[in-house]
């Protein structure tokens, strides 16, 4: 779907950074905000302390309310696709908690001096396509005029407390499963530089638009979960391991990768987030056994990436069979160990999980 046949617009050329690569550096954020005096009522079960994917509020009746928000600048050129990716990305935080999304509220910054207001229709059509597919509804929102196009959503979900997933429950012996391939960060940079092949871009778009809705998981226990977004696989895996007080061993050669991503990384098509993510994780992770392009894949900033799930080792085969239809590129990528000096070790693939 094109914006307007008479005047095609490349949204990615209107911003310096697109998608989750536009996030502020994680290490800088943590250092700057560490002394905030936060109110922590007893009903707030999950706040910012564990760096989980969403906030959790106990409704007191066996149900938890899950809240999140996410927004960013264009990562693709087509407004319908951008809207769909922005919605799928925001919904992902709800799915990462095991919850069901129920409402979404729009966050929009629009450069009215540069773009025709008619662009809003395909933008929101794309978003609604994903919101409706999730079973949620768009309940409202807020917009401002802004120099750069920004779109995102505040999403609310619910989950029975016995079915909720946090990032702090990984246990030694668990297997780690990643549901989507990596590489959106370098491919987005290649698109902006006119160095991406069209089928690479379309593959990335399809992956980013895919909702992280795993559906019912009968007879499978998920001990911990997080979604992989702008702070990269290395960053989010580190946060999950630290919250769980364990260590992760991840086989870098088992990682699912989007077509074209390794070619881009071999050509050193990087963005600032690759480097800030590396700085964020360097003291708590080790990837010395992996070749350089794979090292950059580990810190590649993902937009609407997959879920990283920690499940009992005896149940990983069952879960993989349940994921086969909707997440054909899901992989078992590693395992959980007792806490070591490093939170995450990426190894060379010789050791089998």
Catalytic residue positions? Answer: 20
Residue 339's Cβ-count burial label (10 Å; 0-12, 13-18, 19+) is middle
């Amino acid at each position: 779907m094109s914006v307007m046949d008479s005047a095609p617009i490349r949204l990615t050329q209107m911003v310096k950074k697109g998608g989750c690569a536009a996030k502020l550096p994680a290490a800088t954020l943590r250092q700057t905000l560490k002394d905030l005096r936060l109110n922590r009522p007893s009903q707030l079960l999950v706040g910012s302390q564990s760096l989980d994917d969403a906030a959790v509020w106990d409704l007191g009746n066996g149900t938890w309310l899950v809240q999140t928000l996410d927004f960013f600048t264009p990562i693709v050129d087509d407004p319908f696709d951008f809207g769909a990716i922005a919605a799928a990305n925001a919904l992902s935080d709800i799915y990462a908690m095991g919850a069901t999304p129920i409402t979404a509220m729009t966050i929009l910054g629009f450069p009215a001096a540069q773009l025709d207001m008619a662009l809003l229709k395909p933008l929101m059509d794309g978003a609604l396509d994903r919101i409706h597919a999730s079973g949620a509804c768009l309940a409202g929102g807020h917009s401002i005029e802004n120099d750069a196009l920004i779109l995102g959503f505040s999403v609310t979900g619910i989950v029975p407390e016995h079915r909720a997933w946090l990032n702090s429950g990984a246990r030694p012996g668990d297997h780690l499963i990643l549901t989507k391939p990596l590489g959106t960060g370098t491919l987005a940079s290649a698109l902006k530089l006119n160095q991406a092949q069209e089928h690479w871009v379309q593959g990335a778009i399809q992956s980013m638009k895919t909702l992280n809705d795993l559906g019912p998981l009968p007879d499978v226990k998920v001990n911990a979960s997080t979604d992989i977004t702008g702070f990269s696989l290395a960053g989010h895996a580190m946060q999950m391991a630290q919250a769980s007080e364990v260590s992760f061993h991840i086989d870098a050669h088992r990682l699912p990768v989007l077509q074209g991503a390794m070619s881009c990384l071999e050509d050193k098509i990087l963005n600032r987030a690759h480097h800030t993510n590396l700085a964020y994780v360097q003291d708590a992770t080790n990837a010395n056994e992996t070749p350089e392009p794979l090292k950059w894949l580990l810190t590649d900033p993902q937009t609407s990436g997959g879920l990283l799930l920690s499940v009992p080792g005896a149940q990983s085969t069952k879960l993989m069979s349940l994921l086969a239809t909707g997440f054909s590129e899901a992989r078992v990528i590693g395992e959980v160990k007792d806490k070591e000096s490093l939170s995450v070790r990426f190894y060379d693939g010789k050791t089998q999980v």
